[in-house]
Structure 1
Amino acid sequence: MEETTPHPLIAARLAAGLTMEELVSGIRAAAARRRLRSGTDDARVRKWQRGVEPDDESQVYIAEALGWPADIVRADDWPNWLPLTADGVVPLGPHSSVPALREALRTAMERRTFFAISGVALSALAADWAIGPAAALAQARDGKPVGEDFVTFLENTTERLACLPTEQRQHTPALLDAHLSTVTELLEHGRYTPALGLRLHTLAASLSQTVAWHRFDLGRHTTASQNWIAGLHNAHAAGDHDLGAGLLGDLAYQAAWRGDHTTAASILHHALTRAQNPAARCLLQLRLARTLAARGERSERRTVMRALAAAEKHLSDAGTDRPAWCAWVSEADLAVDSGQALLDLGDTGRAHRLITDGEGLLPTARDKTKGVFAAYRAASYLDLKEPEPAAAAATQSLLLARRIGAPRCISLVDDLIPRFQPYRHAQGVPELLHLAAA
């Protein structure tokens, strides 16, 4: 572990904006609220910062002194449960990759979400990434040696888990979490060569991205954000600008999904400054077009069309040498995302044709995407006031999503259900409403 890495208690205190004296005072006050007395002083806190473990009661007092509820404490996992930030975003820096992973793991362990990460904080992180040099790779100086064969095993099993068919990936979250926790431990406590360190950071970034999508599909947005942020830190440490841009693109996709298109556009503009691979730039431009169109501002129509044209050009330039996270980008995605952007711009006829054509191009392996596209097609039919084909598309999407375990796709259909109410007697609509209520 690097000697310059601060103890999590120091990081948590600084994130909370507390001096040592204020922390000590807060610990004593937490005990006093229980009509108890704490003998904590500066010397004892310094011992905790050097590796001495506080007892269970003291950990509860520490949490409350930092401004967090007592049930955040996991006394058997000191000091990993400590919150390292005030706003949920670990700042980019030369030693930030492991703390960002720890923050993501800590958030995943919490029983409830204590904060939502603001768009301002995410945009600031993206700006720092866009202008900053790559972070220095960690040089572990102690701990048990990490073997190349073991890292290869983790890389291969992670790739296999990520490449499983959609229907099987719903069974993998616990395995992916265990892999990410293992890689974090290796980075923090292992002894490895610079070459293995580069591979471990890259693996941590890839794992974090996969875990984030699992959380996002389940509607666990804060945990998803933390994993994408942790992935960004590790891609930054490894100097992989395309992967970093992809992780920012995922954060932008999440912001757009939640209706924060201003944050999404800001993040995507920063991501595009350093992305190089044509497939990566295609995906980022498609997401930019989608989020600009969704803002519904007529003045941005030209910007939307320029982004779609750029995406088409990048896709034509993309060869087989693509990053794994965007290897799947295809003519189907170009068609459907272009159609969705045009739908938001009011060009419903052309949008409907593109969405239908794009869905037909999808391979069987992308069932979840097919379900999402079917939901988009249902929305486009509703815009055209054609409830019968809309009901057929929504039913297809809902049945597919339930079969493969895709809650995000189910959510898309659920959001459309109120729009079917005026057409309760149209063919297929009563059956859809009954299915959605089941």
Structure 2
Amino acid sequence: MEETPRHPLAVARMARGLTQDALAAKAGAGRRGLRSGTDRARLRKWERGVEHSEEAQLYIAEALDLPARTVRSDDWPGWIPQTMTGVVPLGPFSFSSVPALREALRTAMERRTFLTISGSALTVLAAQWADSDASPLTRARDGKLIGDEFVALLEDTSRHLAALPTEQRQHTAALLDAHLSTVTDLLEHCRYTPAVGLRLHTLAASLAQTVAWHRFDLGHHITARQYWVAGLHSAHAAADHDMGAGVLGDLAYQAAWRDDHATAAAILTRALTRARHPAARSLLQLRLARTLAAQGEQRPALRAIAAAEHHLSDARTQRPAWCAWMSDADLAVDTGQALLDLGDTTRAHQLITEGERLLPAARDKTRGVFLAYRASSYLTAKQPAAAAAAAAESLLLAQRIGAPRCVTLVHDLLPRFQPYRQEQGVPELLELAAA
């Protein structure tokens, strides 16, 4: 028998450890002179879908420790966050993908900056993913039948949008958001065959992953995490373990970017338990090497680098789309970054320079990141003129193609240039960055 998801109010209430009576009391309906919400019977009706006034919804938000701006009375119960942690739990049932997608879309639309997703919540999510399998795909019992042709159209246009050069991709955010919203609506409201359902979940995972990277590049970390979490749910529903591992790898990358290397290492360790494709394992091992090196764990980092090299040499030409870009250039640069953290500056600089040279011309955003890495390695080697040249090239490239994360990388290097203000190229770099 197909299990029915609980009402969002019940989910939120239980996540906070509240009974129906406790929520009614905490909402304070009685002390405000309201009749609604004062007993279990009324709350039971609410949790079965009965709508109620905007005023009562405000009291519920207060009882759930949510700010009043969260409430959108015309979207009851859609405005209620599903968990206290911000992460929809990953269970054995594929229906969890739609709530996770809805949570990501609402977070982006309403800018729910009051939500946080802790490293421990992500680690628990990774453990759930590693230890569970989705049941056969569920689907809406009612609604219009969705056919192959429309799904193929969504797949083709989504693939084309995601493959555009970075300079053009900066204009596609709204289109990708609309595609993901459409796919979510189809999953929730339409009828489809198991084969079409599998394609829709796979497409949702791919779109959520792409949108997450867009948000991450803009520095919208809370929203990016929600989209990656949604992508993990969708990949899990589609039983695509490699893609699920890849999404976890992205969450780990973000954690490492924010200097939470303990969380990054824990997530990557879980991801590696189920990743099978050599390209996927190479990428995950390389990211693990980076985060281990940042923590000064030399031997484990070097073992991870060796594993990344081995898996990349075994990777076939046909790879999962989300890691099709993985190449010798990426291996060289990220290995160089790991060695830089471990103190092997000479070899690190050689690898970073070599990786940048190997990078295909189409990957401009990655080139901007690599140039910033090269500038950092030059600064470590006390070569400020060369560092200024690489940093200026990175900044100009990032500004041209619309890559704010690259801009941030360069700006983060600027304090290290201060002792060299009189060196060749440094004043020009500082002026460019200030413009």
Instruction: Give the TM interval when normalised to the shorter protein.
Output: over 0.9
Alignment partner, residue 425 of structure 1: 422
d(CA) in 1 for partners of 2:54 and 2:401?
Answer: 42
Give the distance between the partners of 1:428 and 1:36, measured in 2 at CA: 71
CA contact (8 A) 1:96 1:233 kept: yes
Letter in 1 for 2:243: L
- Runs of 4 or more, structure 1, over 6 Å off, are none
Provide closer, same or farther for how the CA distance between residues 112 and 128 of structure 1 changes in structure 2, counting only shifts above 3 A. closer
Residue 55 of structure 1: aligned partner: 53
User: Match of 1:69?
Assistant: 67
Shift in alpha-carbon separation, 1:36–1:430, aligned structure 2, 3 A: farther
Q: Which secondary structure state, in structure 2, belongs to the residue aligned with residue 203 of structure 1?
A: helix
CA distance in 2, matches of 1:77, 1:416: 45
Letter in 2 for 1:143: G
3-state SS of 1:320 partner:
coil
In structure 2, C-alpha distance between the alignment counterparts of 1:427 and 1:230, rounded to whole Å: 48
Fraction of identical pairs, as percent: 72
Question: Which residue number in structure 1 is paired with residue 343 of structure 2?
Answer: 346
Query: 1:146 offset after TM fit, Å?
Result: 1.4
SS at match of 1:364: coil
Q: What pairs with 1:288-303 in structure 2 (closer than 5 Å)?
A: 288-296=288-296, 300-303=297-300
Question: What is the alpha-carbon distance in structure 2 between the residues aligned to residue 142 and residue 164 of structure 1?
Answer: 37
1:18-167 map, 5 Å: 18-29=18-29, 37-40=34-37, 41-93=39-91, 94=93, 95-167=95-167
Deviation per CA, 1:17-52: give whole Å up to 9, x if none: 2111122223335x85xx663533433333333333
Match of 2:195 in 1: 195
CA contact (8 A) 1:127 1:270 kept: yes
SS in 2 for 1:224: helix
Question: What 5-or-longer segments of structure 1 have no aligned partner?
Answer: none
What TM-score do the two structures reach when normalised by structure 2? 0.96
Q: Distance in 1 between matches of 2:251 and 2:81?
A: 21
The one-letter amino acid of 2:68's match is: A
Q: How far apart, in 2, do the equivalents of 1:364 and 1:52 lie?
A: 57
Corresponding position of 2:382: 385
Q: Structure 1 residue 326 and structure 2 residue 361: aligned?
A: no
CA contact (8 A) 1:27 1:38 kept: no
Offset of residue 369 of structure 1: 0.3
* Structure 1 residue 5 corresponds to structure 2 residue 2: no
Q: How does 1:352-367 map to 2 (within 5 A)?
A: 352-367=349-364
Match of 2:235 in 1: 235
Residue in structure 2 matched with residue 374 of structure 1 by the alignment? 371
- Relative to structure 1, the CA distance from residue 143 to residue 46 in structure 2 (aligned partners, 3 Å threshold; closer, same or farther) is farther
> Aligned partners of 1:134, 1:5: CA distance in 2, in Å?
15
SS at match of 1:50: coil
For structure 2, the 5+ residue unaligned runs are: none
Of 46-55 and 60-69, the range deviating more from structure 2: 46-55
Select between 415-424 and 100-109 the one with higher mean Cα deviation.
Answer: 100-109
Alignment check: 8 A CA contact 1:135 1:239 kept: no
**3-state DSSP of counterpart to 2:363:** helix
Who is 1:304 aligned against?
301
1:112 positional shift? 4.2
Deviates most, 390-399 or 359-368: 359-368
Report the residue type matching 1:352 in the other structure: H
Give me the TM-score of the superposition, normalised by structure 1. 0.95
> Aligned partners of 1:225, 1:111: CA distance in 2, in Å?
13
